[in-house]
Amino acid sequence: MSRAVVTGAASGIGRATALLLLERGAQVVAADRDEAGLAAPADAGAETVVCDVADRADRARLLDAAGAACDHLVNSAGIIRLAALEAVTEADWDHTMAVNAKALFFLCQAFAPRLQPGGAIVNVASGAAKTGSTHEAAVYCASKAAALSVTRSFAHAYAGRGVRVNAVCPGLIDTPMNDVVVDGIAPLRSLTPGEYGHARLTAVPLARLGDAREVAEVIAFLLSDASSYMTGQSVNVTGGMITY
Ligand code: NAI
C-alpha cells in the first residue's frame, strides 16, 4: 500500500486528491492550516496534520508524521492575492512567495531524499505560470513559475534515485480559490463577477470550469507507475486553454 502526503488537503484540488488516493487504497496524510476543512479527508480515512507549510517547524512536524516509508508528496497548498500591479506591496510578494514557492521548495528538499525509490512528487503550479496573463495576479504567476522551475531542478537531481517530480498546471477550476479570483478581479476590471466569470470562460475550448476531481485524476496518474517515463514535466489541465 502506498503512503502519500497531500498539502492543501482541506479544500479544492488538494482535498479531491486526498479523497481520490484514499479511494484507490493509499494511506494519506492530509495537511492544511484549516483544521475544520480537514474533517472530510479525516472522515474518509486520512491521518491529518494541521500545519502552516510556510512555517519551518510545521514542515518538520509534517515530515515526522509522514514517517520513514512515504512514497508520494503532493504540494497543493497555495494562496493568491489580487491587486493592480501598481498596488502590490512587498508583504504581498513575501507572503505569496513564502507559501507557493519557498514552502514548496523546502518540502521537496525535505521529502525527496526520504521517498521510497519509485516514489513521486507532484507540485500543483498553474497555467498562470506559463502565461502571466492575469496581471492582477502577477506575484501569484511569478510564484507558480518558480514552482515549475523547482519541479525541474528536483526532477533532474532525484531521477537517479528513481524519484520522479512533475507539476500540474490547472486552468480555471471550480474551487473556493476560483471564486476569490473572480470576485477579486471583476471590480478591478469594472465588471460584475458574473460578467468576468463569463468572459474568462470564452478562452476555454471546452467552455466550462474544470472540476477539482479532474485535476486529482491527473495528479494520481503522475504519482502512479503508469507515468513511469515522465519526470520534470508540467502537465496542463486547462480544458484546452493552454496548449504548450
Ligand atoms: P483552495 O483555496 O480551495 O485550497 C487551497 C488550500 O491550501 C486551502 O485548504 C488552504 O487552507 C491551504 N493553504 C493555503 N495556505 C496554506 C499554508 N500556508 N499552509 C497550509 N495550508 C495552506 O484552492 P485550490 O483551487 O484547491 O488550489 C489548490 C492549488 O491549485 C493551489 O496551489 C492553487 O494555486 C492551484 N491552482 C488552482 C486553480 C484554480 O482555478 N482553482 C488554478 C491553478 C492552480
Question: How big, in percent rounded to 5, are the helix, strand and coil portions of the chain?
Answer: 50, 15, 35
Is 124 within the bounds of a domain? yes
pLDDT-based confidence at residue 11 (cuts at 50, 70, 90): very high
Taking the C-alpha atoms of residue 37 and residue 50, their distance in angstroms, rounded to an integer, is 10
Q: How far is the centre of ligand 1, averaged over its atoms, from the C-alpha of 131 (Å)?
A: 19
Mean predicted confidence (pLDDT) in 218-223: 98
Residues with CB under 6 A from ligand 1: 7-8, 10-14, 32-34, 37, 52-54, 76-79, 99, 124, 126, 170, 172-173, 175-178
Q: Look at residue 194 in the predicted model and tell me its pLDDT.
A: 97
| pTM recorded for the entire structure | 0.98
Our count of domains for the chain comes to: 1
Is 11 within the bounds of a domain? yes
Is 58 within the bounds of a domain? yes
Q: How far is the centre of ligand 1, averaged over its atoms, from the C-alpha of 160 (Å)?
A: 31
Question: pLDDT tens, 21-76?
Answer: 999 999 999 999 999 999 999 999 999 999 999 999 999 999 999 999 999 999 99
> What residues act catalytically?
140
Residue 12 one-letter amino acid: G
Question: pLDDT tens, 95-150?
Answer: 999 999 999 999 999 999 999 999 999 999 999 999 999 999 999 999 999 999 99
Question: pLDDT tens, 66-89?
Answer: 999 999 999 999 999 999 999 999
Q: Are 118 and 225 in contact (CB under 8 A)?
A: yes
Is 72 within the bounds of a domain? yes
The rounded mean pLDDT for the chain is 98
Contacts of 98 (CB under 8 A, 6+ apart): 54
CATH, residue 45? 3.40.50.720
Start-to-end CA distance of the chain, whole Å, equals 35
